[in-house]
Structure 1
Amino acid sequence: MAETVAALDCGTNTLRLLVATTDETGRLVEYDRQLRFAGLGQGVDATGQFADEAMERGWAIVDEYLPVIKRLGATRARFVATSAARDASNRQVFFDGVRERLGIDPELISGQEEAQLSFNGAISGARLDGDPVLVMDSGGGSTELVHGTAAGEISQSVSLDIGSRRVRERYLHSDPPTADQIAQARAEVNRLLDGCPVELGDIATFIGVAGTVTTMVALHLGLKQYDRDRVHRSSMTAAQVAELADKLLAMTVDEVLALGPVAPERAKVLCGGALVVTEVAKRVPADLQASESDILDGVVLSIIRDGLGYRLPG
């Protein structure tokens, strides 16, 4: 076995942890994977700053994760921050608080690096039906689209400033959203996709990672409680994605929450993410496969295979 490492992914909605290693064949061996809703991107699209209460939530989650990291014997770690942190002018305040707790420097990664890490993580655990492969990381603040091969070679990638929280806060103000709000959001998503440099029409394997896609698949499967094993590698057609998105856009947050497998913080923004996923899926000829292997897995592999990250104190 390789050394045990910790990956922390700080997104717009969630702050997640994976403690893992790799076996003698290079495959990932997972010890613990956890998710908390920090809502760090709360209001960032409007103010350009992290809210004080959002940073406090994030620090409290790091405090929860630290004993887990120590108990499992992780020796190195990476804390990567993505879309919301790229937009927040006061991100250094948050990073300083993280450093005080973990003893390592948080990293603000670019959309390009985020795309590479997501792609590497996704193909490490997904069902690969042929080339080309498209990995869609549908986050709270941005959506990464990565075109490549099952061997891990990337040919095209882009990070688009459309995600579940950003779309919800910018366009879908009512509960449920009005037809005009939905039309405006859909027009903006398609405007960005029309200018997207990533080829979508030749895809043989279409993999979706992150909470919007996995939650949509859980709902499609009729799960009353979220089941990671059942969601992983399950698929939806573009028509099924669109039908579910229309249903979610017509529901209140409380109605979405009552469906069962949707976490409370996810329920608030799921309709925005579903709209984004739908418009991408319409342009891709392959079914959408949900993968529970994602950027966290890619970060772990980057530490073990590429020697990135920082040694944890003590």
Structure 2
Amino acid sequence: MPSKKAVIDIGTNTFHLLIAEVDKASNIKVIHKNTIAVKLGEGGVNKGYIAETAYKRGIDALILYREELKEFGLGYVFATATAAVRDAANGQQFIDEAFLKSGIKINLIDGLKEAEYIYNGAKGAGVLSQETSLIMDIGGGSVEFIICNQNEIFFKNSYQLGAARLLADFYHNDAAISDETVIELHRLFEKKIYDLKKAIEKHHPRELIGTAGSFDSFANIIATRKNELFDAALQRDYQFQIDQFNELLNEIIRSNHQQRENLEGLIPLRTDMVLMAAILTQYTMGIGNIEKVTTCTYSLKEGLILAETL
């Protein structure tokens, strides 16, 4: 009999509740999922605290999740919090209040553990092979990189280069981002992910596997333009044509807020987040000589579900 599991991923931008059945072969059958655009990092992600209104939205979301768990007869849920909570001075206060008001115990995980769960998710989706790949998970507060194949991890790290964090520091109006600011971002990346560059030179991954919302957005935009179906709830992956993918990144980087708002297939939450995701993705592809790009729809929450069955 498959076992029913519930996990909550408390991210900087979105909270995810996933209830699923997992069989002995690690197949995931989704029973219920609910994604809420809490924006926990809004107003405080770069200041080291959770702002008051964001804090309240987070608590309210967890109270709602508790009610949904009751509906499905589940008392236990494995909940994790990542960058927005672990980097906040009032992060422990948020964890304590969440438990008091919702009964949900939050496990605070570091970036390396987060990377492991992301790897578990990609592996469970079946997108890894014997070839070496680079997994990239762009969150709101941090980005995780994993160099791996289906059998092992060669390198993993987490960096405070999430899309919300970068937006707060580098994008202050609705105009197209300047070339000077892009250069400034590249300098930041060069400094922050120097060890990743060295690991890429050592292990030579040729495929970039993107997980989480930004890469789902890239896939949705391109699939919409090609009249193809992309449904992150039904598909485990989406293969890009490398030229089309590079063209989309260039288009996003050159665009202003209104132009991104008009992009078919892009949800409002990611109108500006996708700009920073595109700049970071393009930089990563440049240092890695990437030849193939894939979106994997399994990420942290699926990795949590699968890890809990081990």
TM-score if structure 1 supplies the norm length? 0.88
Report if aligned partners of 2:12, 2:39 keep a CA contact under 8 Å in 1.
Answer: yes
**Cα gap change, 1:2/1:198 in structure 2, threshold over 3 Å: closer, same or farther?**
farther
Aligned to 1:198: 199
Q: Tell me how far 1:126 sits from its aligned partner.
A: 3.8
Counterpart-to-counterpart distance in 1, 2:168 and 2:244: 25
- Of 230-239 and 62-71, deviating more is 230-239
* TM alignment of 1:127-206, pairs within 5 A: 127-151=127-151, 153-176=152-175, 177-196=177-196, 198-199=199-200, 202-206=204-208
Report the RMSD for the aligned CA atoms in angstroms.
2.3
**Cα gap change, 1:174/1:241 in structure 2, threshold over 3 Å: closer, same or farther?**
farther
Q: 1:269 aligns with which of 264, 270, 273?
A: 273
Counterpart-to-counterpart distance in 1, 2:50 and 2:7: 22
* TM alignment of 1:225-236, pairs within 5 A: 227-228=231-232, 232-236=236-240
SS of aligned partner of 1:285: coil
Aligned to 1:217: 219
Report if aligned partners of 2:66, 2:104 keep a CA contact under 8 Å in 1.
Answer: no
Q: 2:301 aligns with which of 293, 296, 305?
A: 296
Report if aligned partners of 2:26, 2:124 keep a CA contact under 8 Å in 1.
Answer: no
Aligned to 1:62: 62
Report if aligned partners of 1:172, 1:182 keep a CA contact under 8 Å in 2.
Answer: no
Instruction: Name the aligned partner's letter for residue 297 of structure 1.
Output: E
Gaps of 5+ in 1: 306-314
Q: Tell me how far 1:8 sits from its aligned partner.
A: 0.7
Report if aligned partners of 2:124, 2:306 keep a CA contact under 8 Å in 1.
Answer: no
Deviations 1:207-262 (A, max 9, x none): 21011111012112236997325764212355544422222233233332222322
Aligned to 1:247: 251
Report if aligned partners of 2:120, 2:307 keep a CA contact under 8 Å in 1.
Answer: no
- Of 93-102 and 49-58, deviating more is 93-102
Counterpart-to-counterpart distance in 2, 1:16 and 1:191: 32
Report if aligned partners of 1:231, 1:290 keep a CA contact under 8 Å in 2.
Answer: no
Matched, 1:258 2:262: yes
Counterpart-to-counterpart distance in 1, 2:164 and 2:131: 31
Counterpart-to-counterpart distance in 2, 1:190 and 1:238: 23
Instruction: Name the aligned partner's letter for residue 300 of structure 1.
Output: I
Report if aligned partners of 1:167, 1:273 keep a CA contact under 8 Å in 2.
Answer: no
Between 1 and 2, higher relative CO (CA 8 Å, sep ≥ 6) is seen in 1
Counterpart-to-counterpart distance in 1, 2:63 and 2:199: 39
Q: Give the length in aligned residue pairs.
A: 304
Q: Tell me how far 1:155 sits from its aligned partner.
A: 2.1
Aligned to 2:46: 46
Report if aligned partners of 1:165, 1:273 keep a CA contact under 8 Å in 2.
Answer: no
Counterpart-to-counterpart distance in 2, 1:301 and 1:226: 23
Counterpart-to-counterpart distance in 2, 1:284 and 1:74: 46
Q: Tell me how far 1:58 sits from its aligned partner.
A: 1.2
Report if aligned partners of 1:146, 1:154 keep a CA contact under 8 Å in 2.
Answer: yes
Q: Tell me how far 1:127 sits from its aligned partner.
A: 2.7
